[in-house]
Amino acid sequence: MSKDDLTNRDLYEKLEEIRRLMNTQLAMFKLVNEQAIETARKEILALDVRKKIFEQCDNKKTVTQITQTVFPGEPLEKSQPKVSYHLAVLEDYGLIDHRDEKGQRYYYRKRE
């Protein structure tokens, strides 16, 4: 074997070792982040009212309809700001999203 062959083989082995290490680190990174995301999700949904709001996000209800379901009988001007706040929190954490259609905003869950 020539000196170049040894160098190429050594280089290949080192690159393979680096690839394995990176795959291992990537897998660990994903695992840690998935656990952190799941922990954050549980904490965010720990509030009963927020969980109820989250459950209403079915891509068919507007904020008004969600408000009427979660706070039945309560005046909209009092309860809708609360629902809007919790929807914003849920959206900020990536649990829900919305679509706009004909001047209405419909909310839906992004992940279960």
**How would you write the pLDDT of the chain (112 residues) with one tens digit per residue?**
555 566 778 877 888 888 887 878 777 777 778 888 788 888 989 999 999 999 999 999 999 999 999 999 999 999 999 999 999 999 988 899 999 999 999 999 986 5
Query: Taking a C-beta distance cutoff of 8 angstroms, is the pair 44, 90 a contact?
Result: yes
The model's pTM is 0.68
- Dist CA 90 CA 30 (whole Å): 22
Name the maximum alpha-carbon separation found in the chain. Answer: 86
Q: Where are the alpha helices (DSSP H) in 45-111?
A: 48-56, 63-70, 76-92
Q: What is the pLDDT of residue 80?
A: 93
Q: How many other CB atoms are found less than 10 A from the CB of residue 22?
A: 10
